Amino acid sequence: MGVKAKVEALIYATEEPVTLNQLAALLKDAVLAELRAEEEARLALNEVVSDGKPIVEEDEYADEPETLPEPAADAESRPNGSDETPIAPVELTPEQKAELDKEDSKRVKEHISQILKDLMVEYSDGNRGMEIRQIAGGYRMGTKPEHHDVVVNFAKSLKPPVRLSMQALETLAVIAYKQPVTVPEISEIRGVDSSGVIATLLDRKLITTSGRKQVIGRPILYKTTKEFLLRFGLNNVAELPSMEEFEKLGDPQAGLFEQATAEATAAPDTQAPEVETAEGETEPAPEVVESETEAASPADETPADASEERQES
């Protein structure tokens, strides 16, 4: 796709007028590549035109040996050491790089400006119903003023866009994949009561009744309508993505809690409490092996505790 087609697509796709700076920033690489290709083609054409050597047949000088340049002359024409060490590319200073970028940006804008002029001329043809206008410093595509009446009449005949809540979309998705389905089955899948949402979908004509299920109570069955296919751009419900396709997409939140779970299950890096010694220094307390609920054995009592017990007795 050429740069001209990309510029046309961008102007058509944007609701707000797209400016020349925006187009230059988006298409800078493509424009430079196209300009480079045009320059190479022009140079190649000039070489062919400027070549004045007569064209000879292949068998005219077939017996003559092929002449090769003498290595001595070739060596003399090159600088000393050029056959061993290649010439290093010249490094540009930041000022030179900025100057080159500025020059490239200028060339890109000039090229896109010419493309915009060509497009505006093409769309100004009387056989075209669209035109490109310059509005608020940018470019936007729209219908021509002479087609105002027919466009307004068509716009009035269009249906307003359907706006659904997340609950309605969930219910509609269950019906689309499980149809025909009853309200209790929908509520069981969603985990909440869906009877209120059903009325909204019926009012928007996205679903309709499909008889009754032959079970106790005979609940009403629901299915999607042709309006559902029109709103979602489907030919039939078979074009809906399958469950396998959804699984291939993967859950974007699948790995969010793995790291937190691993950190929580890891051993905590806690420091042992410190005990003050007689010299006033602190040292870590010894590890406690027994649990706090386990009672100390009589053998672990200190002599001071034993003497206190004898005095009390």
Domain identity same for 128 and 182: no
Q: Using an 8 Å Cβ cutoff, are 19 and 138 in contact?
A: yes
Domain identity same for 119 and 28: yes
178 in a structural domain = yes
- What's the pLDDT at 251? 54
Average pLDDT over residues 109-128: 91
154-168 pLDDT tens trace: 888 887 777 888 999
Closest to 223 measured CA to CA, from 205, 203, 247, 245: 205
Domain identity same for 196 and 150: no
Domain identity same for 245 and 115: no
The whole domain housing 203 covers 166-249
Question: 232 pLDDT exceeds 90?
Answer: no
DSSP 77-99: HSPTTTTTSPPPPPPPPHHHHHH
246-262 pLDDT tens trace: 777 665 544 544 544 45
Counting the structural domains of the chain, the total is: 2
Average pLDDT over residues 202-210: 91
Q: How confident is the model at residue 306 (pLDDT cuts 50, 70, 90)?
A: very low
CATH of the domain at 209: 1.10.10.10
Other beta carbons within 10 angstroms of residue 18's beta carbon come to: 19
- What's the pLDDT at 14? 86
Domain boundary residue among 195, 229, 249? 249
In this predicted model, which residue has the larger pLDDT, 261 or 48? 48
271 in a structural domain = no
Look up the pTM and report it.
Answer: 0.46
